[in-house]
Chain A
């Protein structure tokens, strides 16, 4: 049996012990993947797995990402293949219940990210009369680089009626300012916002779904699922070791993303620094989510040249128009024979580029989604955009303002959901828990 099914009564606390089936040495080596960006450990997988350790890519993908760290995992962690994202409303008015839930969630997340059952008893080891404390669909599956990342929405601090339900209104960071209405927004309230979000990413979709399902169950009576989203096929790379993936428009996405290896840039653009705002957020990051429906069918009928003009990159290699390689810097000054800019003024790459936005950058780790079809024979598909940053007021908001006004791509996009969350720093050890500094 797997380690998930062998958790009978003896374990008493969320532990850092390595999951069974992995050697201690291997667990440490895999751990290096997760902290590479944080600790500034240079080099890619080749270096990490040097010294004769022949861990294959498959083994890495199946391994565990350390849960206890300075920053939450699931941000600079090399983007996994699958996503299950959920936004909760808090339905209790009892602060103590909310705190207990955050502690329970932390313990369950520490276990699940290590490849263990959500509860101490497990999916199949309890008494026959009791419902199992783990739902069981991840039995026998490896950790699959599961990360679970938590964030707090503006309404947790003060709800829509202006109430400070949990006595934390004065701890709301200024950077967690409600996003403005952007031109063309078609947001559905029932798919937007939320008091608490949980992002589960894994290389196995079943592992990601298992994580969210069990957390939602633990939260019954305290939180209620407001909306959730499944995603597949990461649309960004967050490490230089990862090839740039393609979104559903067929283009490479995230070429100019912040990467785990860019320690200086991460400090300037990703992590909340001392003095930025309330201390509880130092080492945390602000998350913006946008569910962006793509009008797939009309896009597919547009000519290749038009598609490339809209994006500002070639569809094949991903090179900026007028350049040769994907990672060549775009030349926004270059003019074509007709005297027009090679990279159009309304192209996506120009409007979103740091050079055009006072150097503002984002760490994107979005996912493709296909939620079946829409009843009119069209795919209900697009991009679930996820971006982490140090201050949305200086990063996402100005960038999106420009894109919403001028991006030629807007003809093929509909923003239907929006979320904003303050993700606290990492959980340090088994005595720590998500939001401890906020609620202490």
Chain B
């Protein structure tokens, strides 16, 4: 059941690992899914993967969501490096993931409710061992992160469309529920988005960054109306403009190839976002959904580091260990503030709890600030 919409991401995945397959020898390109796709049964509490030991090569997963929550499916390499993912699998639907997997140990994960670490399972891929030359590792980092960006922008577009539709339908409750979800995809790739100058303030500008003669638009304008007056009946044009701007930035982001150095700096920039805007509650001053952004920034930072991981492991294994420890520490600390599938409001956290989060981000951001120099050398 191969539909055209999967061809583009799958092609990107193949490009990414083409070099690896070459290293492993030419006759290893057998399709592990010759007998049909690996069936994944996802529910709200389980993630059953049909086969957990497969041969290296191209693999297809068919993920069926029979739960009540929107689900996601991931294949992770060490350090939660995303090898492939499908987002936004609505209840009752099936979607396919095609991914090229060299030999190694992986994890599969379903994420009912699209949050948290997900329901994990081991996946063992055997065949010729993959060995990656240092430069190839960096080249692969770029392609790997590009896959991530493309998965996020696709979901960003979908969720923004839903959010805009709710705003235009004056469905305040639905718009409020969708607001932090749509922003999650934005916040995960914020440094990429921010690199496109004037679009960022139009989409994500806070009230005080609006200059004289410029209109206050975008997510935060609608946030203000949703949470202060509860009246978005006049926001139709602003909502339309938001969608137009998001479409424009998605097209640009998908075309963008970030260098490994940009990835390293992006990983740090995402934590800077947390430290300067989310811990303080400045970002989501009306909705107080800052912890959603916090988590998304953290995930985005981790994805960028994960893309760099093979290169970092070759060049500075101690730094990788330190990053793993500190990422885990932030996740544990932040994890205390989960509420259902989402997060507590910023206003529900005590000063001590915020300080604890701030300390954990500082502990992670210092080693992350050293990644760029490791990549550059």
What is the chain B residue whose CB lies nearest that of A89?
B359
A129 touches B363 (CB 8 A): no
Within 8 A of A (CB), among B317-370: 326, 355-356, 358-359, 362-366, 369-370
| CB neighbours of A378 from chain B (8 A) | none
| Residue numbers in B under 8 Å from A221 (CB-CB) | 326, 359, 362-364, 366
Given A91-B359, A224-B359, CB of A130 within 8 Å of CB of B366: no
Inter-chain contacts of A376 with B (CB < 8 A): none
Answer whether residue A217 sits at the interface, using C-beta atoms and an 8 A cutoff: yes
How many interface contacts (CB-CB < 8 Å) are there between A and B?
35
Q: List the A side residues contacting B355 at CB < 8 Å.
A: 224
CB of A131 within 8 A of CB of B326, answer no
B377 CB-CB contact with A under 8 Å: yes
B376 CB contacts on chain A under 8 angstroms = 127, 129
Residues on A with C-beta less than 8 A from B375 are 129
A334 at the interface (CB under 8 A from B): no
**CB-CB under 8 A for A220 and B261, given A127-B377, A130-B370:** no
Name, among A126, A130, A222, the residue most crowded by chain B CB atoms within 10 Å (CB to CB). A130
Q: Please give, as numbers and ranges, the residues of chain A lying within 8 Å of B358 by CB-CB distance.
A: 224
Question: Given A91-B359, A224-B355, A224-B359 in contact, is the A129-B366 Cβ separation under 8 Å?
Answer: no
Indicate with 1 or 0, residue by residue over A66-102, a CB within 8 angstroms of chain B CB atoms.
0000000000000000000000000100000000000
- Residues from chain A with Cβ under 8 Å of B369 in the complex: 130-131
The 8 A CB mask of A98-140 against B (1 = contact, 0 = none) is 0000000000000000000000000000110111000000000
Interface size class of A (residues with CB under 8 A): 10 to 19
Question: In the docked arrangement, what's the CA distance between A131 and B371, Å?
Answer: 10
Residue interface bits A124-160, CB-to-B below 8 A is 1, else 0: 0011011100000000000000000000000000000
- Tell which of B261, B326, B364, B365 touches A129, judged by Cβ atoms closer than 8 Å: B261
Contacts A221-B326, A224-B355; A130 near B362 (Cβ below 8 A) = no
Set of chain B residues within 8 Å of A129, measured between Cβ atoms: 261, 264, 372-373, 375-376
| Pair A130/B372 contact, Cβ less than 8 Å | yes
Bound: A158/B372 CA distance, A: 39
Query: Inside 8 A of A131's CB, which chain B residues have their CB?
Result: 369-370
Chain A residue at minimal CB-CB distance from B367: A221
Could you say which of A126, A217, A220 has the most chain B C-beta atoms within 10 Å of its C-beta? A220
Chain B positions within 8 Å of A220 at CB level:
362-363, 365-366
Q: How far is the CB of B266 from chain A (nearest CB, A)?
A: 13
Write the nearest CB–CB distance from A212 to chain B, whole angstroms: 15
Q: How far is the CA of A127 from the CA of B261 in the complex (A)?
A: 13
For residue A222, which residues in chain B have a CB less than 8 angstroms away from its CB? 363
Complex: how many Å from CA A222 to CA B373? 23
CA distance A127 to B373 in the complex (A): 7
Q: Report how far A236 CA is from B10 CA in the complex, Å.
A: 73
Verify B366–A217 contact, CB threshold 8 A: yes
| A395–B373 CA distance with the chains assembled, in angstroms | 53
Closest B residue by C-beta to A131: B369
Chain B, Cβ-Cβ closest to A223: B359
Residues of B within 8 A of A130 (CB): 369-370, 372-373
Distance in angstroms between the alpha carbons of A222 and B329 in the assembled complex = 12
Q: In the complex, which residues of chain A have a beta carbon less than 8 angstroms from the beta carbon of B362?
A: 220-221, 224
Q: Nearest Cβ in chain B — how far from A87, in angstroms? A: 14
Residues of B contacting A126 in the complex (Cβ-Cβ under 8 angstroms)? 373
- In the complex, A221→B366 CA distance in Å? 9
* Residue of A127, A220, A221 ringed by the most chain B CB atoms within 10 A: A221
Q: Which residues on the A side are within 8 Å of B326 (C-beta)?
A: 221
Give chain A nearest CB distance to B320 CB in angstroms: 16
B356 neighbours in A (Cβ, 8 Å): 91
Contact with B along A329-355 (1 / 0, CB 8 A): 000000000000000000000000000
Chain A contacts for B264, CB-based, 8 A: 129
In angstroms, Cα B369 to Cα A120, docked, is: 17
Chain A: minimal CB distance from B326 (Å): 6
Closest beta carbon of chain A to B250's beta carbon, Å? 29
CA distance in complex: A55, B362 (Å): 44
How many angstroms from the CA of A221 to the CA of B362 in the assembled complex? 7
Alpha-carbon distance between A226 and B377 when the two chains are bound, in angstroms: 37
Q: Which A residues are in CB contact (< 8 Å) with B366?
A: 217, 220-221
Task: Mark B173-193 against chain A: 1 for CB-CB distance below 8 A, else 0.
Answer: 000000000000000000000
Residues 206-247 of A at the B interface (beta carbon under 8 Å): 217, 220-222, 224
* Complex-state Cα separation, A129 to B372, whole angstroms: 6
The chain B residue sitting closest to A216, CB to CB, is B362
* Cα A399 to Cα B258 with chains together (Å): 66
A217 to B369, CA, bound (A): 12
Residues on the B chain within 8 Å of A91, using CB: 356, 359, 363
**Could you say which residues of chain B place their CB within 8 Å of the CB of A217?**
366
Q: How far is the CB of A40 from chain B (nearest CB, A)?
A: 44
**Nearest CB of chain B from residue A251's CB, rounded to whole Å:** 37
In the complex the two chains form, what is the Cα distance from A25 to B33 in whole Å? 80
Write the chain A residue with the least CB distance to B358: A224
Q: Which residues of A contact B372 (CB under 8 A)?
A: 129-130
The CA of A127 and the CA of B372, in the complex, are separated in Å by: 10
Q: How far is the CA of A221 from the CA of B358 in the complex (A)?
A: 10
Which residue from chain A places its CB closest to the CB of B326 in the assembled complex?
A221
Instruction: Give the complex CA separation of A129 and B370 in angstroms.
Output: 8
**Nearest chain-A residue to B362 (Cβ)?**
A220
Q: Looking at the assembled complex, report how far the CB atom of A133 sits from the nearest CB atom of chain B, in whole angstroms.
A: 10
Q: How far is the CA of A222 from the CA of B359 in the complex (A)?
A: 9
Nearest B residue to A217 by beta-carbon distance? B366
Residue of chain A at shortest CB distance from B329 = A221
Complex: chain A residue closest to B363, CB-CB = A221
Q: How far is the CA of A126 from the CA of B374 in the complex (A)?
A: 12
B351 nearest CB neighbor, chain A only: A190
- List 15 contacting pairs A-B, 8 Å CB cutoff, sorted by A: A126-B373, A127-B373, A127-B377, A129-B372, A129-B375, A129-B376, A130-B369, A130-B370, A130-B373, A217-B366, A220-B365, A220-B366, A221-B363, A224-B358, A224-B359
Given contacts A91-B363, A131-B369, A220-B363, 7 further A-B contacts (CB under 8 A): A91-B356, A91-B359, A129-B375, A130-B369, A220-B366, A221-B326, A224-B358
Top 9 nearest A-B pairs (CB, nearest first) are A221-B363, A130-B373, A129-B376, A129-B372, A224-B359, A220-B366, A129-B373, A220-B362, A131-B369
Which B residues are within 8 Å of any A CB, using their own CB? 261, 264, 326, 355-356, 358-359, 362-366, 369-370, 372-373, 375-377
